[in-house]
Amino acid sequence: MCAVRMHEDELAIDVLLVGRLIAGQFPQWAGLPLRRLESSGTENAMFRLGADKVVRLPRHPRAVEAIAHELRWLPRLGPGLPAASPEPLGRGEPGDGFPWPWSVYGWLDGHNPVPGRIEEPALLAGDLAACVTALRRIDASEGPPGYRGVPLATRDPFLREALGRLAGRVDTAAVTRVWEETLRAPEHTGPPLWAHGDLMAGNLLVTGGRLSAVIDFGTVGVGDPAVDLIGAWCVLPATARGVFREAVGADEAEWARARGWALSIAVIALPYYWDTNPPVAENSRHVIGEILAETA
């Protein structure tokens, strides 16, 4: 799955290339086993290095900026979270035919939760809420604007363009109805707060049904933190959403914006990844179905 080309400007990245990069820039790790990881991720290629490291390389130009962004903010934010977060071990530089910076992190055990097959929904809801609220408590006065901390209305043209490509594949009339209701929700009027920005199943690790780690901080920033509630539909079943909402203390307006974020992310991703990334497409269909069922 991970080796499928998803973007027109995506680079070919393989074990031989990554091995050369490691040998040239981190010779102390040159003899360690290296293998590509199966992943539904869309921005980075992942390679396990030895038993306790992972190498992440941006697949395409739009993913490059997130490398430096994550390496800057993760050491500040990660220690304040109740779940583990990646430990940066090294920043790689362009070389050996690879034009962009890349990174090496400590390995984190666990597996991605599977929407629709969550082992301990209420416990996971509580764990996820604890991470969201802990991140919101961190001083945001010097934080960068969040990629998804903006008013939801900025998504409108992109969602409608994607819906035009999904005619006959999803209930576009129902999606439009829910989306337009969402746009009428009051905007965030409080202070900007930290948000991870992409708390999808692929960026969470669970062990024994409990949240053990949060990964990929490339979209972290400050703004409207409602986006960090998308897990209510992207990860959790309907039976656990109330637990999650109560734990984070979301009012009607924030909950509506969060639903809108979950819907817009799923709709915009679906036509783009329909053929090139089946797990992402399936998750998008799942999210759309959950929201339409909830709002019918």
Instruction: Tell me the pairing of strands 204-207 and 193-195.
Output: unpaired
Tokens of 104: 């090496």
Distance CA 189, CA 228 (A): 16
Per-residue pLDDT, 256: 98
Query: Counting beta carbons within 10 angstroms of the beta carbon of residue 266, is it exposed (0 to 12), middle (13 to 18) or buried (19 or more)?
Result: buried
Residue from 25, 108, 18 nearest 58 by CA = 18
Q: Is 58 helix (H, G, I), strand (E, B) or coil?
A: strand
Which spans in 104-150 are helix H?
121-137
Q: What is the DSSP letter of 43?
A: S
- Going 187 to 176 to 121 to 150, the CA torsion angle's sign is negative
Are the beta carbons of 154 and 260 closer than 8 angstroms? Answer: no
Q: State the pTM of this model.
A: 0.94
Q: How far apart are CA 56 and CA 104, in angstroms?
A: 6
Residues 152 and 260: beta-carbon distance below 8 Å: yes
Whole-number pLDDT of residue 43: 87
- What does the pLDDT profile of the chain (296 residues) look like in tens digits? 445 666 777 888 999 999 999 999 999 999 899 999 987 678 899 999 999 999 999 999 989 999 999 999 999 999 999 999 999 999 999 999 999 999 999 999 999 999 999 999 999 999 999 999 999 999 999 999 998 999 999 999 999 999 999 999 999 999 999 999 999 999 999 999 999 999 999 999 999 999 999 999 999 999 999 999 999 999 999 999 999 999 999 999 999 999 999 999 999 999 999 988 888 999 999 999 999 999 98
Predicted local distance difference test score (pLDDT) of residue 4: 63
Find out whether 47 and 55 touch, Cβ atoms under 8 Å: yes
Query: Helix 156-165 vs helix 172-183: angle between axes, to the nearest 10 degrees?
Result: 170
Q: Where are the alpha helices (DSSP H) in 138-275?
A: 156-165, 172-183, 231-234, 238-248, 252-273
DSSP letter string, 179-222: HHHHHTSPPP-S--EEE-S---GGGEEEETTEEEEE---TT-EE
What is the per-residue pLDDT for 2? Answer: 43
Residue tagged 């990069």 (tokens): 21
Question: Residue 40's closest CA among 218, 281, 287, 250?
Answer: 281
